[in-house]
Structure 1
């Protein structure tokens, strides 16, 4: 898919990897619909950065865990831009609790992480499906190596990301042949999730084969490449500086 002239919805598009994706999409000539739930100021700032560089971007509020809000947000994007060609399912949350503290993994935490990280991606894909099918579009889900290794910020988070990897394969089958669905799986990325954990990041970097922590821009470039690649679907692609090799 040639991204120039296309409209792409990025969930959680105002911060971290989402912001980097929004900026990279605009650099490649796409019109960017930036979704946010709570980070309105950051989403508006991201849109302003795109416009100041001559690109096209608008912001759209919506909680991805609520199907009604997702459908309303998607309708608003289509009304604003006329159609929708691609979706980047980036919005996600975590809870930092010790992996071995099973009692800390409460039902409330399970429900919230699965609602946002898994059901939210499905709701967005379902709402976007008619438009993506009409345009021969694409979806990229953002996973995590936590879903591959079983180790992460919490046990429910790791399981939710494993579910994202499975969801990608199922959606690829369900939406073929009109829509391609792939998943990019980052390792450690220098985003605000690491705020206050810089010492841990500095200890981790030398342990990677490439001896570096990924930047959001690294992941953004790969997400855009996956959107562009028309001979690929159902793939789980890892970018982790060699951490899981």
Structure 2
């Protein structure tokens, strides 16, 4: 069982030795990833609007990553308290319907925020000896989505930035992407939707957060992967090709 977490407010100066910065860590898959990294012994700075449950290795920094000022405050906090960063994992995500306002919001979260943080935190990452940047993209970022065009497009930009930052920061920092498919249903989804969604993959079950955790741990341990994409979608790309 995980122990209680101590909230780290902005004004507190935690003892952080090469922590992992994880965005979108307060619920669902992101929370499970944060807890798994904490259990593995990493100090994890969770940048999110709401506080995750308690664990002594999780430090919360309250931030709305769509806001430039919040990102700048986060960068200043990390520069003040860290000599290096072990990794930056961009997991924060919004799956919004298509509209101009929603496109702007998703662009700021999926593209502008990772771009800003990768550039601003480059020196801390390069000071770690071995460091990683991991972009959590989406399997639709490679194939598009007629029902969520803006979401797929902004995730595609996030996926493309893997290539550019991998080249920019090599060899000190490895930069890779993960393209998950369905991992966890939202509680409000009905049974008909669940069955329809499951049938889109070759592996017709809801896997939960574990595939993403495994992919992140693999990339953190990898010595010879950069500019690459790890797909974890249960063979959905093959099932679509067969239909």
Same fold (TM over 0.5): yes
> Which residue number in structure 1 is paired with residue 139 of structure 2?
145
CA distance in structure 2 between the partners assigned to 1:7 and 1:152 by the alignment: 39
Higher relative contact order (Cα pairs below 8 Å, separated by 6+ residues):
1
Distance verdict in 2 for CA 1:212–1:6, change over 3 Å: farther
C-alpha deviation, 1:81, in angstroms:
5.0
- Deviating beyond 3 angstroms after TM superposition, the runs of 4 or more aligned structure 1 residues are 77-83
Q: Does 1:77 align with 2:71?
A: no
Q: Does 1:66 align with 2:67?
A: yes
> Which residue number in structure 1 is paired with residue 203 of structure 2?
210
Q: Does 1:177 align with 2:171?
A: yes
CA distance in structure 2 between the partners assigned to 1:233 and 1:198 by the alignment: 39
Equivalent residue for 1:115, pick from 105, 108, 123: 108
Encode CA deviations 1:119-171: one digit per residue, 9 max, x unaligned: 11111212221100111311100000111121265110011111111011111
> Which residue number in structure 2 is paired with residue 230 of structure 1?
223
* Structure ranking higher in helix proportion: 1
CA contact (8 A) 2:85 2:125 kept: yes
TM normalised by structure 1 equals 0.83
Matches within 5 A, 1:154-173: 154-173=148-167
> What secondary structure is seen at the aligned counterpart in 1 of 2:127?
helix
Distance verdict in 2 for CA 1:187–1:76, change over 3 Å: same
Q: Which runs of 5 or more residues in structure 1 are unaligned?
A: 97-104
Distance verdict in 2 for CA 1:198–1:148, change over 3 Å: farther
Aligned length: 220
CA distance in structure 1 between the partners assigned to 2:236 and 2:225 by the alignment: 24
Give RMSD over aligned pairs.
Answer: 1.9
TM normalised by structure 2 equals 0.84
> Which residue number in structure 2 is paired with residue 15 of structure 1?
27
